[in-house]
Chain A
Amino acid sequence: MDEHILELINVTREVAWLPWAVQYFFLIGISVGAVLLSLPGYWIGRPNWTKLSRLALVVALVCGLAAPVALVSDLHQPNRFWHFYVAWRPHSWMWWGSFFIPVYIGGLLFYAWAALRPEIAAQGRVDSRLGRLYRLVAMGEPRGAGLMKLAGAVVLVGAGLVALYTGVEVYVVRAQILWHTPLLPFQFLLTGLAGALGLVLVLNPIVGDGDARVEVKANRLLALVLAGVMVLGMVWLGLGYFDLDAANAQALRTVAASPAWRNTAIWAALATLVPFLIALVKPRGTGILTGLIAIHSAWMFRWTVFIDGQSIPKTGAGFYEYALPRGAEGLLGIVGTAGLCLFLLVVITALLPMPKRPATGAAETAFLHPAE
């Protein structure tokens, strides 16, 4: 039987989660990834991680502080954000998220303060106009590592909760064909880590001292993480291709025939494979390149999941078209968050420039040698 259906009249639904949401998931994912990268240096006290962890901490702060701004902006009624806090909605992962985010951001600030306290205290000993402010923020000289251990544990719990909720909040949406895969939370986590490593690699020569050992180490880690991203991608394809998981198979069937989706898939694969190969073969002298591609790839993953994912009609034929508006609902959101990140980076690095010889392996090292 030869049958063809032509849709004559139907509704086109616009995206309900705007590019602001892409920015939020991108920034919070990177922030969580960067916190994980900062822990070996600050929490566990591995001396060979010191510089990388210091850079990662800056990345975690910049992205972590900008992310909630993007999230609130994604609400169509941002001034009503407090409605989350006067409701009891334990069935809603988004509701849980509204509590996990402050736990994470609060924990991150506490952790960053504990980690950077020796540096802040050292700045306070310099005779400058801001000396008093530094002394005030340092709250005396750091003593012992107990506080650092506690702060590390707090931020780790916060990061875990954020990673959990951001992944599951999207995964539970059965109606969005591309979102409802149990792999998604892990894909968010790994691509977030890759983005964090990308930013560390890009910032190393800009705000750090361009130490080649940091570059090589970050590139090696990046190769490892990207390998994980590729494995997850192949598992996703395999689950769909061999019909091992009904939701995956349906998702794959929906997008496989579309040339635009095929191009996106090829692009995404290249944006993972190319930095992986470069980082593996030539980890030295390529940091900016691999870093930029990794950042792009982490962002693109989220754009594809959220914006392209919402372009799949739930009942209609074909795909909805998406046109990026120039205003606050589109480009301005992307440029705005990028500008906010830049501003935060300038402020943080101006107030606490990267130490020439970082005084932190763990807090106690700095405490024992405060003048270094």
Chain B
Amino acid sequence: MDRSRRNFLGLGAAAVGTATLQPATVEAREARHGGDAAHRWAMVVDLRKCVGCQACTMACIMENRVPEDSFRTIVSTYEVAENGKSATYMLPRLCNHCENPPCTPVCPTGATYQRQDGIVVVDNSVCVGCGYCVQACPYDARFINHETLTADKCNFCVHRVDAGLLPACVETCVGGARIFGDLNDPESTVSKLVASEDVKVLKPGEGTDPRVFYIGLEAEFQGRVDGTPTLWRPSRAKAEPSLV
């Protein structure tokens, strides 16, 4: 299993460039358990192909029963005005399943951990909902689920991957922008793309070594975006009576 929906349809991508993969620290590697160490699951997001349709956002919500106003993945959308011209920029965001995740060592109960195949999961029968992992993630990838009252995040649809299926967002991606596969397999599309394309990651300076790679990621969007914030806010805070 290693493809995007587009690849599945026979529409592969090719370009040039290189990238280096930092290995996990000894501590991060030793702390891993569960999963199959033969694989290292990863995603490549080809921003040139994303049309910002949010089909992945919806598929994730449906697949994982993500509660209202919460998101495991979303396509951040920006309008970039430059020298009198404007363009739209789409950036799908999800958990990066970092090689050195800062979210797992802080967990006081061990509820969140990294599997040997690199997927970072939350066991919500153990999680106490302390929110420490939410604070520690530099990507705002985690949140407290209002229904389970535990930490929640993208888990690469681990239940599907274990069953030999693609994550729901990859399966549904119309543009074939999301490509999922095994970095341990040099023949996989993700391995080839990471080796051949000029792939970038979000916040490379954090030392997290994400395993979600982007093709076409502009420097302005790699870290905290400096711009005018969206006016859109989730309705939950407004629905609940508040004082300020």
Contact = CB atoms under 8 A, between A and B. Distances in A.
A94 B106 contact: yes
B135 A5 contact: no
Contacts of B89: 5
Contacts of A2: 81-84
B128 A77 contact: yes
Contacts, number: 217
Contact of B83 (A1, A254, A310): A1
Contact of B136 (A11, A76, A173, A322): A173
Contacts of B93: 11, 315
Contacts of B134: 13, 16
Interface in B139-156: 139-140, 142-144, 149-150
Interface string B177-192: 0000000000000000
A259 interface: no
Q: Most B CB atoms within 10 A — which of A172, A315, A326?
A: A315
B13 interface: no
B202 A325 contact: no
Contacts of B129: 75-77, 80
Interface residues of B, number: 69
Grouping DSSP codes into helix (H, G, I), strand (E, B) and loop, the B interface class, with mixed when no group exceeds half, is: loop
Interface string A5-43: 111111111101100000000000000000000000000
B135 A4 contact: no
B228 A315 contact: no
B13 to A, nearest CB: 25
B206 interface: yes
B229 A317 contact: yes
Interface string B107-151: 111110000000000000011111110111111101110000110
B240 interface: yes
A316 to B, nearest CB: 6
Contacts of A83: 109, 111, 126, 128
Contacts of B226: 5, 317
> Looking at chain A's contact residues, is the secondary structure mostly helix, strand, loop, or mixed?
loop
B108 A319 contact: no
Q: Which of B129, B135, B240, B244 has the most CB of A within 10 A?
A: B135
B106 A92 contact: yes
B216 interface: no
A326 B144 contact: no
Given A10-B76, A315-B202, A323-B243, A87 B108 contact: yes
Given A9-B74, A92-B105, A317-B229, A3 B139 contact: no
Given A91-B105, A315-B225, A7 B76 contact: yes
A9 B203 CA distance: 20
A12 B233 contact: yes
Contacts of A95: 108-109
Given A16-B144, A81-B128, A9 B110 contact: no
A262 interface: no
Contact of B240 (A12, A254, A327): A327
A91 B108 CA distance: 8
Given A17-B135, A173-B136, A326-B241, A75 B130 contact: yes
Nearest to A82: B128
Interface string A112-145: 0000000000000000000000000000000000
A7 B102 contact: no
B27 interface: yes
Contact of A94 (B77, B132, B150): B132
Interface string B82-97: 1110001100010000
Contacts of A75: 128-130
B65 interface: no
Contacts of A89: 107-110
Interface of A: 1-14, 16-17, 74-78, 80-81, 83-84, 87-89, 91-95, 97-98, 172-176, 179, 254, 310, 313-319, 321-327, 330-331
